[in-house]
Structure formats: C-alpha cells, structure tokens
Structure 1
Amino acid sequence: MASSVTILFLLLSIISMGGALASSKPSGSSDPLIGEVCSTQSHLVCTNYDDVQATSIAADQVATAASMRDASIQTINDLQEDFFLESSLVEGRKIAIHNNLNDPAPSRPFVPSSAVSSLPELTTYNALDIMSYFGVARDSSMATAIVTAAYLCGGAALPGEAKSCAASTKALAAFVASELGNNVSIYATKGAPTTYSTSTSHVKAPVTILKVAKGSVEEGRKIVVCHHLAFPSALYYCHAVTGTKVIQATLKTEGRLRAAYIKAMAVCHLNTELWLSRHPAFKALNIARGDEACHFLVENDLVFTRALQTSG
C-alpha cells in the first residue's frame, strides 16, 4: 500500500566533513530553521504556528503587479553572491564575503499545513492575490519581494535542472524525495555572526579560511539546493543539479573583539556550459562559460545529498 512520502534524516544537525572545525555555537543550542525542516516527530511537517490571517487590498491589473518586482532579478542565480574558484580556497588565505553569509531575508515560519491549500499559486499572475492573502500593502517592500518570488517560482526551470518552490515542509520534503530518494543528508551554513545589518547584502568584509573539506559528498552526483526567498512566510526555491561538489569551509571573521567561526557551505558546479551567458559568476570570476564555478550559501539556504552508505 502506498504511503505518504517521508524522508529519513540520518543527521539532524549539520555534519562536519573531513575534519572541519565544529560550529562556534554552544552545544545544545537550537536552530529553529533546521528544527522546522528536520522534525522527526512530524516527518518534515511543521505545525503549531498561528493561522495566516488574510486581509484584502485594492484590486489592480496583473500588469501593474508584474511591474512591482525587482527587475534586476531574472533567475535564481541573480540572488547568489560570493563566487570563487575552488583553487582559491586555501587554508590560511583571506577572502571577502558579504554580510558574514547572513541571509538578508528574515527567517519566518512556514505556512501551517492546514492553510497551505488556500495559498494562491506562486505565479506573477496571482501576485495581488498573494498580497491579499497575507495582508501586504502594495507600496511595501514586501510586495516587491512577493512579486519577485512569484516571478521566480512561476517561471521555467533553469536548463538541465528540475525545480520546485516549497511553501511548506511537506512540499519541500516531497521534492527532495522525488529527486534523491527518502534517505538524505542535510547541510547548511552555520554560525554566521550578525555583525552587519541584514537589511543589505552589499557589505563585504574579509575572513580567514581555517579549514576546508572538499568534494567529500558524492562528487559529481545530483544534489538539491534550496534557496531561501524573501516572503511573508518561509519559502524555498529548490532545484536539483548534477555535476557538483559540496564544500565546507571554516571561516574566521576579522575585525571583531572576539572572533567568530562560520561553518560555511558552498557548492562547486563542475560544468557551467548550460548556464546563461549573463550568469554573474562569469563576470565575477572572469571565467568562460563551461568553466567550474563555486559559490557560498547564506545561512538559511539548505543542501541535500543522498545519505552516505555505511558498511555492515
């Protein structure tokens, strides 16, 4: 008999790979994001959040809503920063990263499972309905974020990829399971200090590379990366990509009275031949289309791989 799709997480906290340093957060400290996504009690379904209260706003033309989005964002790639070449990730070297890898989009709970079915489909056409659903004013920055997210989620997948926008843990789990199977491991950047305001993603500061674990997670195979989007509730743009290498680097912040240690996750794309010619990595790294390119992930992003097989 068929049963609902569940994902068995072998590791509920982020795995230290290849001798990478442990997170600077005290042991036993909770992480709300991982706690929501990796709930063993509900198999990735988060509950106990307040119901979303919808209020109405004035109706408008769909074209007007479409014009409200951030026009600088054409694909999910335009939200990525901190590109680097794998060869530059050398222990002891200083590099510069944005905002200590803090996510400029505030972390929010998922829409409760009981309310997901009433959430309008995430397309630009429904942008005004989504604003009404959450009671968001048209002249607010959140309105721009909603239309931008709806544009990204409603568009086609990038070449060579499969994608899904998940507004609930159940949807996120279903997509991951459909691409990787039910037995997976989860990784995320941890320990990003809040030195800089998360209202901007343009503050760049140096960090020192202390430890690097390269290519230790099923190099070249399919992974799922879920990027956290700005939205009134938790929303992830998840895409399945192949030909990748997952990297963890321990970074030490500079210019602080007490150093902070960031366990930073990154993904290296071994072949960028299918990427658009306008991809920001090509300009940032001065590389040709097809060359390998890597980028760090901000703290709220998630990486899923097939769980490593154990002998016995």
Structure 2
Amino acid sequence: MQEGTFCNLTFIFYFLLVLGSSYARMLQSEVDDKKMIETNKDPSLNVFFTPNDLQLGKRMPIFFPIKNISEIPKPLPKKMADKIPFSVTNLSYLLHFFSISKDSPQAKAMEYTLTQCELEPMEGETKFCATSFESLYRSTRGFFGSGSVKAEATVYPKNFKTELQNYTILEEPIKIWAPRILSCHLMPYPYLVLYCHSQVSDNILYKVILEGENGDRVKSVAICHIDTSEWDSDHVVFRVLNVEPGASSVCHFYPRDNIVFVSDV
C-alpha cells in the first residue's frame, strides 16, 4: 500500500466522520429498546433490504441520517487511548473514569461497544476496533498489505435534510469489484471508536443512485452479505426483514459517515 494513498484515505475518513450520522443512535436503540426495534418505530433501521430489492425502479422507505457535529465523539491520540483500558471486564472502572452512571443509557451503550469489540470473529471474518486514527491506520494497512486502496462512501446532496421517505432506484445498481472489502462504523463511546470488519468472501458492494420523494438525490454505497448462516440469530436485521439466519442474503445502505475501504484492482 502506498503511504501517500493511505494518508489521503485517513483524511477522507476523518472528514466523513465530522459530517456525522446517527449510526451510534441506531446501536443505542438496539441496546435500550428492543421492542422499538421489533415494531420498526426507529426510522434509522430503514436501511436494510434483500438483494431482490436492488433493481431499477424499486421504491422503498429509507432513512439516511445526519448527526450534529457536536455529538460526534472526539478522537484521542494513540498514546492516550492506549493508557485507557478497553475491555468489558473493566467496565466499572471505565464508568467511574468517565463519570457515567452505571444504570444510564450511556453505560449500556459502552457495554455494548466493548462486548461487540471483544467478540470472536466469525469463520472467514476479520474484525477489529480502532480507538485512535493511528490504530486505524496500522490495522487497516495490515489488513490490505502492500496493495493500493481506495475509499467508497455515500454522498448526500447539498442542503440535505434527513427524513424517512420513499426513495426510488434511478439507475441500474453498479457492482464495485474488489477482492477485499473493509467496512468501518462509528460506535457509541465517550471517545472515537471505529468498528471495522470484513469477510473473505460472500459480500458484494454496490453503488446505487436514489431519488427521494422530496427530490433529494443520494449517491449511496450498499453492501449485500450473501451467507448469513453464521450470524447471531438476535441480530437486528433479521427482525427488521423477518428472515432467519441463512435463509436469505441481507443488504444495507451505508450512511455517509461510514467508510468502506476496498482493494483497488
């Protein structure tokens, strides 16, 4: 991987994070209120679909979020982040360290993030949580090796205002051919934590042009996970789509603060 290329991608990732989204709120909702998820009252869950939906002219409700810049967790330098324990076994200490009540929604979100980051990867999966941009750089560089890398991300139009509305696929979705795909998501935590994961195979990335009922045109990146047989049966996507693990491939659109690194072929 070329040094300059990767540094540029890191800058792009930081820029997208500053723009923000409600991915953390989606995770918070999963922790705090499963009943809300099961009844589809949380608009941020309207990002999931099946491969059969990915066709020209398809109309579906989608929520593309925007998050206030002030709500984005601040990044820590690696030296500082490395001095703070990052394990669910240290949760009590961490709650005291950050002055967070043990019964608060923030405490539950922290526990969720730490638990997810410590889960063993599924067969064929690579996963890591980066607690600083330096650790993101090192882990991502290690994942892709010496090959060149490019970044893909969802792009909102100027003056975009988030709302749950019906979007129509305007053009035939375009497959992004990449041997390796690494998706990185913002996690709920007192400082910036990024959950990055990839499977060796069985993922297809798409570029999808969508137009909302209000005329907003979104250039979205979407991914389809072909084999879900090894996924946790309690994963939110199965409740939203009403399918069982392994019975159907599942897909989702990325909000604009998520970044997808792909090997450049």
**What does 1:1-312 align with in structure 2 at a 5 Å threshold?**
8-9=4-5, 12=8, 33-34=14-15, 70=31, 82-98=47-63, 100-102=64-66, 106-121=71-86, 123-182=87-146, 183-191=148-156, 195-196=161-162, 204-218=164-178, 221-241=179-199, 242-255=201-214, 259-287=215-243, 289=246, 291-308=248-265
RMSD over equivalenced CA pairs, Å: 3.4
8 A Cα contact 2:16 2:258, kept in partner: no
SS of match in other structure, 1:298: coil
Larger Rg: 1
Residue matched to 1:41? none
Q: Which amino acid aligns with 1:291?
A: S
Cα shift at 1:80: 6.7
The alignment's TM-score, normalised by the length of structure 2, stands at: 0.74
Cα shift at 1:229: 0.7
Distance 1:81 1:181, change over 3 A: farther
Distance 1:113 1:164, change over 3 A: same
**Cα distance in 2, alignment partners of residues 133 and 194 from structure 1:** 38
Q: Map Cα deviations across residues 70-115 of structure 1 (whole Å, 9 max, x no partner).
A: 3778xxxxx97522122322233321113x2446994233112331
SS of match in other structure, 2:205: strand
Distance 1:263 1:170, change over 3 A: same
**Cα distance in 2, alignment partners of residues 36 and 297 from structure 1:** 13
Number of matched pairs: 239
SS of match in other structure, 1:118: coil
Q: Map Cα deviations across residues 106-149 of structure 1 (whole Å, 9 max, x no partner).
A: 4233112331221212x211123323333434454322221221
Distance 1:7 1:113, change over 3 A: same
What percent of counterpart residues are identical? 23
SS of match in other structure, 2:230: coil
Judging by fraction of residues, say which structure has more helix.
Answer: 2
Cα shift at 1:236: 0.9
8 A Cα contact 1:163 1:237, kept in partner: yes
8 A Cα contact 1:103 1:298, kept in partner: no
Q: Map Cα deviations across residues 157-187 of structure 1 (whole Å, 9 max, x no partner).
A: 2343121111111211222222222421112
Cα shift at 1:246: 0.8
8 A Cα contact 1:83 1:295, kept in partner: yes
The alignment's TM-score, normalised by the length of structure 1, stands at: 0.64
Q: Which amino acid aligns with 2:188?
A: A
Residue matched to 2:21? none
**Cα distance in 2, alignment partners of residues 271 and 156 from structure 1:** 18
Q: Which amino acid aligns with 1:155?
A: L
Deviates more, 1:206-215 or 1:226-235: 206-215
**Cα distance in 1, alignment partners of residues 247 and 166 from structure 2:** 28
Cα shift at 1:264: 1.6
8 A Cα contact 1:215 1:246, kept in partner: yes
SS of match in other structure, 2:78: coil
SS of match in other structure, 2:137: helix
